[in-house]
Amino acid sequence: MNNPNTISFVARSKRRREILLKLKEKSMSQSEIMKKTGMYKAHTSRVLKELFNKKLIICRNPEDRTFKFYKITSLGKSVLESVKKLI
């Protein structure tokens, strides 16, 4: 079962939900996420960092400092499904 705090963390932010939904479709770079969501770079960067720290996404190439690809984790998919049921 998912942690209720993690579910709440995702549910209370439209940006977190939106990024997880986009990453569920396919792995993307930060610039791709920005284009698809219309978010500013600072917002996208902050949300990616938050999701990464909660282990909801992973960076597929962490050694690359300029062009990182992000992927949703199985925990992220599970939390996203729980959030969809709530909303």
Residue 87 lies in a domain: no
CATH number for the domain including 76? Answer: 1.10.10.10
The structure's pTM equals 0.92
Domain encompassing residue 43: 4-80
- Give a yes or no: residue 50 inside a domain: yes
* In a domain? residue 60: yes
CA dihedral 12, 18, 22, 25 (to 10 degrees): 60
Can you give the three-state secondary structure of the chain, one letter per residue? Answer: CCCHHHHHHHHCCHHHHHHHHHHHHCCEEHHHHHHHHCCCHHHHHHHHHHHHHCCCEEECCCCCCCCCEEEECHHHHHHHHHHHHHC
Q: Is the pLDDT of residue 1 over 80?
A: no
Q: Is residue 85 part of a domain?
A: no
pLDDT given at position 37: 95
The per-residue pLDDT for range 18-37, each reduced to its tens digit, is: 999 999 999 999 999 999 99
Describe the strand order of the beta sheet including 69-72 as a list of residue ranges. Answer: 28-29, 69-72, 57-59
Could you tell me if residue 51 is inside a domain? yes
What's the domain count of the chain?
Answer: 1
Percent of the residues in the chain that have a pLDDT greater than 70, as a whole number: 99
